[in-house]
């Protein structure tokens, strides 16, 4: 995967995840109104990441933040009185392979696999939210 493609994919994940939290905050059927405040992901620009270059430590931090904030979101959904399902975390949370993705060394295949897992989890989240 090229740096430009990786940047574009990360940017799309972050943008769409943050749009999801904003939609949750605006949804009258959801009790909590602090999903964006608690769960939004940092923009790539705030990490000094660009299509022309991504430092390994910034990439590792970005990927870790995606996992952490997704877990915060699913836990908050499970606890929200306005949400029917209470198994968001149990059915959707995922783990990053920290043995192969870390600030001082990254296995590119593990990054691609991890991002595929992230996309699958986000799609599962959206499907579950639509049905809730």
Domain boundaries, the chain: 3-131
Q: Which residue has the higher pLDDT, 54 or 76?
A: 76
Whether the Cβ atoms of residue 115 and residue 70 lie closer than 8 Å to each other: no
Output the pLDDT for position 27: 93
Q: In the prediction, which pLDDT does 108 show?
A: 87
Q: Burial of 76 by CB count in 10 Å (0-12 exposed, 13-18 middle, 19+ buried)?
A: buried
The predicted model gives 41-68 an average pLDDT of 86
Q: What is the pTM of this model?
A: 0.91
Q: Residues of the chain with pLDDT > 70: what percent?
A: 100
Residue 49: what pLDDT? 78
């Amino acid at each position: 995967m090229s740096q430009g493609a990786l940047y574009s994919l990360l940017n799309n994940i972050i943008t769409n995840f943050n749009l999801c939290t904003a939609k949750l905050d605006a949804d009258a059927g959801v009790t909590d109104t602090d999903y964006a405040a608690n769960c939004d992901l940092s923009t790539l620009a705030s990490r000094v990441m660009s299509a022309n270059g991504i430092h390994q430590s910034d990439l590792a931090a970005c990927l870790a933040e995606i996992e952490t904030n997704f877990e915060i979101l699913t836990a908050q959904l499970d606890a929200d009185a306005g949400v029917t399902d209470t198994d968001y975390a149990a059915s959707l949370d995922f783990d990053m392979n920290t043995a192969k993705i870390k600030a001082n060394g990254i296995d590119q295949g593990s990054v691609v696999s991890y991002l595929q897992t992230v996309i699958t989890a986000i799609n599962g989240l959206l499907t579950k939210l639509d049905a809730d």
